[in-house]
A and B are shown apart, each in its own frame.
Chain A
Amino acid sequence: MTSATPVSAAPDAPARPSPTVPAAAPAPTGRRSARRRELGACGVLMTPFFVLLVTVFLIPVGTAVYLSFFSDDQPGLGFGPERTVFAGLRNYSAVLTDPTFLGGLGIVALYCLVYIPLMVIGALALALLLDSGVVRLRGTAQLALFLPHAVPGIIAALIWLYLYTPGISPVIELLGKADITVDFLGVHTVLPSIVNIALWSNLGYNMVVFYAALQAVPREVIEAAVVDGAGPVRTALRVKAPLVRSSIVMVAMFTLIFALQLFTEPMLLSQSTPMINSRFSPSMYIYDAAFTRNNYGLAAAASVVLLLCTIALSYGVTRWTNRANAAEEDTR
């Protein structure tokens, strides 16, 4: 299990060089034993984490990949000995030709396209507004905006589910008084409703991240822009925003990674609306395949596909920002 750590367990190092040892002492051995002690300590500090890394990360990922190439043949009614047979790429072709899985991928793609720009632009805009110095009660506003981060995802989904439910929701009642009827869980509104839950949960958190980064922008840079005649809007968009580019990339990346795992919100909403089926998103598909249909090979193949999509998109974002950075350097 501990093979992931390159260093062995702490070796005994009795030759502890004390400061009183004369400088003429055999330096090479002293240095070598000090080095050995360092590696030993390093091993002790790193081993717990790497044991976890191997057991709850590497082995499971390996198992998922392995399982995706096998399938269970259940003779008869599922009684009798189960045989696991090598299936080659059969699971993958099954997943990739399954319209419910592809539909789920499409929904998550649409969700990302709507949610990520709204989140990044909204959080950045709020951070820039709060940083502009004209907002009253700035500290209070920040805490209020941050509050939803302390609300667990499932509870955020519960709150909004009730706010979407006719008969309970004051929102629907108010809209009703203005003769507007909205079905928040209808066929075209269910995805925006999910986007809204995610946005509500994470907007304030990402705003605080951007705000923290903006605080680190040197004040002289901004003063210089103002002296050059840039108005507050221009300063915010042309000077401040580009200077926090690295945190924009980080927020976009994390938002993307979590958006691709879309599970909790639709899972909860599916209890109340037929518009969300049990394979609404890839993660729900995996759950359904593994624990409802007990088709481990199919679930594993879908997991690997989702993992590859995540890696490809993250890599794409990194490459794209690196190139954008390089282009920016060239124009200077």
Chain B
Amino acid sequence: MSTSTAPRTAASLRPRLLGRSVVNLVVGISVLYTLLPVLWLVLAASRDRDALFSSSVLSLTDFSFVQNMKDLFAMDGGLYGRWYGNSLLYAVLGAALGALISIACGYAFDKYRFPHKEKMFGLVLAAVMVPQTVLALPLYLMASGTGLVNTFWAVFIPVLFNPFGVYLGRIFSQGYVPDEVLEAARMDGAGELTAYVRVALRMLGPGLVTVFLFQLTAIWNNFFLPMVMLSDQDLYPVSLGLYSWNSSASVSPEYYPVVIMGSLLAVVPLILAFALLQRFWRSGLTAGAVK
């Protein structure tokens, strides 16, 4: 992101004060638009219920952040902690395994020749655009046919499927893994799979992290599939849990503060992941965008 916007010509150097302030104003307003709702969430999470309903979110009295946190984890017998653990399990494990599967397939699409290759790749791309709602009912019927409905696996297996990851894997493999390196590995007597695991996978590292992040976000966001598959609250991910608590809140308002606090905590993992893995996903976006 650190490109030097060196002075291009004398003409653009001339201070266009008005233009500059308008540009900065527009960007500033956009930043406020994206930041303020999150800021509201942070402030609202530290208010007790009465302060929440008196709209006095901005006043700094009645600070009850810690109390709200305690209430959140005590609500309904500590259900929220359970949901959080579930979400982490679905998302981290699912994204890690899913990214490995997609990258391996994308790599094979790039490096090997086989019959009907482009037709199969077309099928993979077509899978990207099929709505999840179309697959939900058949998946539910299949899961109930095999007794997997309302289990961990009913949510975990479908989220492993990431056709866009295969597309990215192919692009990353083209960009990061030179054929000569593989040739050299073969010359050294390495088998095809050894060459992949020992040589190629290491070069595909940034791509792997990008696909992992994309999938982590998607699974953490996942709402429709768990809603269809799960009836046992103990298996809910955070998204579905907060949805069900929010529907109770209209009847019993003591749920409002915990839903708000729960929302705030549910945002943390993705922000952490994006912040820690910044330099990887930025390159990944470029690969997806420029192609």
Chain A residues within 8 Å of B, Cβ to Cβ: 4, 6-7, 10, 16, 18-19, 37-42, 44-46, 48-50, 52-53, 55-57, 59-64, 67, 125-126, 129-130, 132-136, 138-139, 141-142, 144-156, 158-163, 167-170, 173, 200, 203-204, 208-210, 212-213, 215-216, 222-223, 226-227, 229, 232, 244, 246-247, 250, 253, 257, 260-261, 263-264, 267-268, 271-272, 282-283, 286-287, 290-291, 296, 299-300, 303-304, 306-307, 310-311, 314
Instruction: Please name all residues of chain B whose beta carbon is closer than 8 Å to the beta carbon of A311 when the two chains form the complex.
Output: 129
7 tightest Cβ-Cβ pairs between the two chains A and B? A41-B192, A133-B5, A60-B138, A63-B138, A49-B105, A150-B270, A45-B108
Flag if A57 contacts B137 (CB, 8 Å): no
B212 at the binding interface (Cβ < 8 Å): no
The distance in angstroms between the C-alpha atoms of A46 and B137, with both chains bound, is: 27
Flag if B24 contacts A250 (CB, 8 Å): no
Instruction: Please name all residues of chain B whose beta carbon is closer than 8 Å to the beta carbon of A38 when the two chains form the complex.
Output: 112, 192
B181 at the binding interface (Cβ < 8 Å): no
By beta carbon, the residue of chain B nearest A159 is: B37
- Looking at the assembled complex, report how far the CB atom of B216 sits from the nearest CB atom of chain A, in whole angstroms: 10
Count, chain B residues at interface, CB 8 A = 105
The distance in angstroms between the C-alpha atoms of A173 and B192, with both chains bound, is: 65
5 new A-B contacts, CB < 8 A, other than A45-B107, A49-B102, A67-B137, are A53-B163, A168-B52, A223-B8, A283-B133, A311-B129
Flag if B191 contacts A60 (CB, 8 Å): no
The distance in angstroms between the C-alpha atoms of A272 and B247, with both chains bound, is: 8
Instruction: Please name all residues of chain B whose beta carbon is closer than 8 Å to the beta carbon of A162 when the two chains form the complex.
Output: 40, 44, 260
Query: What are 14 pairs between A and B in contact, CB < 8 Å?
Result: A49-B105, A53-B161, A147-B38, A154-B240, A154-B242, A162-B44, A163-B37, A168-B52, A168-B55, A170-B40, A216-B286, A261-B131, A263-B133, A286-B134
- Looking at the assembled complex, report how far the CB atom of B144 sits from the nearest CB atom of chain A, in whole angstroms: 12
By beta carbon, the residue of chain A nearest B238 is: A152
- Looking at the assembled complex, report how far the CB atom of B123 sits from the nearest CB atom of chain A, in whole angstroms: 7
By beta carbon, the residue of chain A nearest B117 is: A6
Of B64-72, B73-81, B221-229, the one touching chain A: B221-229
Instruction: Please name all residues of chain A whose beta carbon is closer than 8 Å to the beta carbon of B221 when the two chains form the complex.
Output: 152-154
Given known contacts A50-B105, A67-B138, A126-B30, is B228 in contact with A291 (CB within 8 Å)? yes
- Looking at the assembled complex, report how far the CB atom of A208 sits from the nearest CB atom of chain B, in whole angstroms: 6
| Interchain CB contact (< 8 A) of B37 among A10, A40, A160, A222 | A160
Instruction: Please name all residues of chain A whose beta carbon is closer than 8 Å to the beta carbon of B11 when the two chains form the complex.
Output: 226, 229
Given known contacts A16-B189, A144-B34, A159-B263, is B139 in contact with A56 (CB within 8 Å)? yes
Instruction: Please name all residues of chain B whose beta carbon is closer than 8 Å to the beta carbon of A57 when the two chains form the complex.
Output: 127, 130, 135, 161, 163
| Interchain CB contact (< 8 A) of A310 among B107, B129, B135, B250 | B129
Flag if A210 contacts B158 (CB, 8 Å): no
Flag if B130 contacts A141 (CB, 8 Å): no
Flag if A155 contacts B263 (CB, 8 Å): yes
Flag if A314 contacts B139 (CB, 8 Å): no
The distance in angstroms between the C-alpha atoms of A158 and B134, with both chains bound, is: 25
User: Main SS of chain B's interface residues?
Assistant: helix
Instruction: Please name all residues of chain A whose beta carbon is closer than 8 Å to the beta carbon of B202 when the two chains form the complex.
Output: none
The distance in angstroms between the C-alpha atoms of A255 and B158, with both chains bound, is: 22
Flag if A144 contacts B192 (CB, 8 Å): no
The distance in angstroms between the C-alpha atoms of A125 and B27, with both chains bound, is: 10
Given known contacts A56-B139, A135-B23, is B31 in contact with A141 (CB within 8 Å)? yes
Given known contacts A257-B129, A286-B133, is B141 in contact with A271 (CB within 8 Å)? no
By beta carbon, the residue of chain B nearest A290 is: B137
Please report which residues of chain B, range 113-144, place their CB below 8 angstroms from some CB of chain A when the two chains form the complex.
114-116, 120, 123-124, 127-142
- Looking at the assembled complex, report how far the CB atom of A116 sits from the nearest CB atom of chain B, in whole angstroms: 15
The distance in angstroms between the C-alpha atoms of A59 and B124, with both chains bound, is: 14
Instruction: Please name all residues of chain A whose beta carbon is closer than 8 Å to the beta carbon of B158 when the two chains form the complex.
Output: 56
The distance in angstroms between the C-alpha atoms of A268 and B288, with both chains bound, is: 31
Given known contacts A16-B191, A67-B138, A291-B228, is B289 in contact with A200 (CB within 8 Å)? no
Please report which residues of chain B, range 255-291, place their CB below 8 angstroms from some CB of chain A when the two chains form the complex.
256, 259-260, 263, 266-267, 270-271, 273-274, 282, 285-286, 288-291
Instruction: Please name all residues of chain A whose beta carbon is closer than 8 Å to the beta carbon of B151 when the two chains form the complex.
Output: none
Given known contacts A19-B187, A61-B130, A152-B266, is B34 in contact with A204 (CB within 8 Å)? yes
Of the listed residues B5, B115, B259, B291, the one surrounded by the most CB atoms of chain A closer than 10 A to its CB is: B5
Flag if B263 contacts A41 (CB, 8 Å): no
Please report which residues of chain B, range 22-79, place their CB below 8 angstroms from some CB of chain A when the two chains form the complex.
23-24, 26-28, 30-31, 33-35, 37-38, 40-41, 44, 52-53, 55, 57-58
By beta carbon, the residue of chain A nearest B10 is: A226
Instruction: Please name all residues of chain A whose beta carbon is closer than 8 Å to the beta carbon of B192 when the two chains form the complex.
Output: 37-38, 40-42
- Looking at the assembled complex, report how far the CB atom of A313 sits from the nearest CB atom of chain B, in whole angstroms: 9
Flag if A290 contacts B136 (CB, 8 Å): yes
Instruction: Please name all residues of chain A whose beta carbon is closer than 8 Å to the beta carbon of B166 when the two chains form the complex.
Output: 49
Flag if A53 contacts B289 (CB, 8 Å): no
